[in-house]
Structure 1
Amino acid sequence: MKYVRIDRILPDHLVKEIQKYIQGEYVYIPSPPEKRKRWGEKSKSRDYLKVRNAKILNQYIGGQSISNLAEEFFLSDSSIKKIIYKKDK
């Protein structure tokens, strides 16, 4: 994200209107919601975690203990429990 001077991209009357509310501060203007991707969609982290969590759940159902799963996947016992007991599977 780069900073852009507002007076270079907006007309004077709009700059003056915005200055009524804020002056000399940084303002973040997010993209419209339809253009934004959800967390992890661009980097594929969301897909990776979905697959990993399914493996954890399947191994737990197959008889693996929570502590063994925590050690295998380098997570805490409480993180494994959250994955296993998640309500919206």
Structure 2
Amino acid sequence: MDYIRAAEILPQELIEQLQEYVDGAAVYIPKKEEEKKAWGAKTNTKTELARRNERIYTEHLAGTSIKELAREYFLAEKSIQRIVRQERSKRDVTAMEGWKDEY
């Protein structure tokens, strides 16, 4: 977040109106809704985390213990358990949708 001097970009009348509400205080002006980006939209972080979680689930199915996965991925065991549970749930929903379409 950058700070910009109001006097450099705003008309004096607007500055005076703002001073009636927040004289001398810093004010945060949020971006317009249409300019806001979803978390991870600027980077591949969301995709990378999804891939990592899929790998964790696959390794767990192949027999790697929660404890080993936690050590390997530098995560708490509870985090690994949550990831495994979420990945299993995703696959269960996908499987049920496919089953529903067959009938």
TM-score normalised by length of structure 2: 0.72
CA contact (8 A) 1:41 1:47 kept: no
- What are the ranges of 5 or more consecutive residues in structure 2 without an aligned counterpart? 91-103
**1:65 alignment counterpart:** 65
- What are the ranges of 5 or more consecutive residues in structure 1 without an aligned counterpart? none
**1:38 alignment counterpart:** 38
Q: Percent sequence identity over matched residues?
A: 39
TM-score normalised by length of structure 1: 0.81
CA RMSD of aligned residues (A): 2.0
Q: In the aligned structure 1, how far is the partner of 2:47 from the partner of 2:20?
A: 45
Higher helix share: 2
Q: Stretches of 4+ moved more than 6 A in 1? A: none
Which has the higher Rg, Structure 1 or Structure 2?
2
Residues 43-89 of structure 1, C-alpha deviations (whole Å, 9 max, x = no match): 32111111101111122223321111112212110110121123873
Residues 10-44 of structure 1, C-alpha deviations (whole Å, 9 max, x = no match): 22222122111112121121212222222222132
**1:56 alignment counterpart:** 56
